[in-house]
């Protein structure tokens, strides 16, 4: 009958819509994983080389310190290569950042200083894996570029009602705000004013390092995918005036729990 035909057609349309949504969700997951892998590829080579070189420099003069740094490096690497779908706690992300900074302080000495001011109640908050660590790595790599004096990073996290408000601030060389806006407006995998936003397509500096905004763009894109566009990064910066990166993370999000 006509009613059965209409019902069958409606069921077919509903099934097609559900399949389309499932495919879209799968595509978003694949994109997020690809972005995390791209971020690792962007960060890892220089850091690995510098860390191992620093550790090697202590092998004869201070073998105990070399051994301790090697363990820190192993813990850092183990954390960094977890499943990119994972969520983690803010506490675990900060613990990995601490290991990273221990390795970098072994390299830069007293030039690199860090202050951490985190409200205890936000330590268990679930955050996307590698949501904060790349911001600190970006600050160290690019904030210290060309500078010879002390460099200070401040990490803060506050309880802001239903959200955790987190910031990473440095007093380094800063960035050109217009260039930063171009990078953030061309998210990974989508075209923007400077072209397609894949890491491979983004320009590199003359020294071969990635543009300082790439790590920020990657984290910004992943936060928006997980929580919505209103949860992207906000960045305050100017050339010669340091950089402050702010992000917000919902404290209670159904279905999002660290493993």
Share of the chain above pLDDT 90, in %: 32
Length of the chain: 259
Which residue, among 81, 140, 148, has the nearest Cα to 105 in the 3D structure?
A: 140
What pLDDT score does 42 carry?
45
The string of pLDDT tens digits covering residues 99-118 is 999 999 999 888 899 999 99
Give the separation between CA 166 and CA 128, rounded to whole angstroms. Answer: 13
User: Using CA atoms, how far apart are residues 53 and 47, in angstroms rounded to an integer?
Assistant: 10
pLDDT of residue 165: 97
Q: What is the mean pLDDT of the chain?
A: 77
**Boundaries of every domain in the chain:** 2-250
CATH number of 2-250: 3.30.565.10
pLDDT for the residue numbered 21: 62
pLDDT, residue 26, reads 54
Spatial contact of 244 and 234, defined as CB atoms under 8 Å apart: no
Contacts of 99 (CB under 8 A, 6+ apart): 72, 73, 75, 76, 79
pLDDT average, residue stretch 118-135: 92
200 has pLDDT over 80: no
Which pTM does this prediction carry? 0.72
Q: Is 109 exposed, middle or buried (0-12, 13-18, 19+ CB in 10 A)?
A: exposed
Q: At residue 189, does pLDDT exceed 60?
A: no
């Amino acid at each position: 009958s006509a009613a059965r035909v209409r019902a069958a057609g409606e069921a077919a349309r509903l099934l097609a819509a559900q399949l389309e949504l499932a495919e879209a969700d799968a595509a978003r997951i694949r994109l997020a994983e690809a972005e995390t892998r791209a971020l690792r590829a962007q960060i890892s080579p220089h850091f690995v080389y510098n860390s191992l070189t620093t550790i090697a420099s202590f092998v004869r003069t201070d073998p105990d310190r070399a051994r301790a740094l090697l363990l820190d490096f192993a813990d850092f690497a183990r954390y960094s290569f977890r499943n990119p779908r994972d969520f983690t706690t803010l506490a675990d992300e900060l613990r990995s950042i601490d290991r990273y900074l221990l390795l970098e302080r072994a390299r830069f000495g007293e030039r690199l200083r860090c202050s951490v001011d985190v409200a205890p109640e936000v330590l268990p908050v679930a955050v996307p894996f590698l949501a904060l660590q790349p911001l600190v790595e970006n600050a160290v790599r690019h904030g210290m570029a060309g500078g010879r004096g002390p460099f200070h990073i401040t990490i803060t996290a506050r309880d802001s009602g239903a959200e955790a408000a987190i910031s990473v601030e440095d007093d380094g060389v800063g960035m050109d705000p217009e260039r930063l806006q171009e990078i953030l407006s061309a998210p990974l995998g989508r075209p923007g004013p400077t072209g397609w936003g894949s890491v491979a397509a983004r320009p590199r500096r003359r020294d071969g390092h990635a543009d300082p905004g790439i790590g920020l763009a990657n984290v910004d894109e992943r936060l928006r995918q997980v929580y919505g566009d209103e949860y992207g990064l906000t960045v305050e910066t100017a050339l010669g005036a340091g950089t402050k990166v702010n992000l917000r993370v919902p404290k209670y999000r159904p279905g999002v729990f660290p493993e």
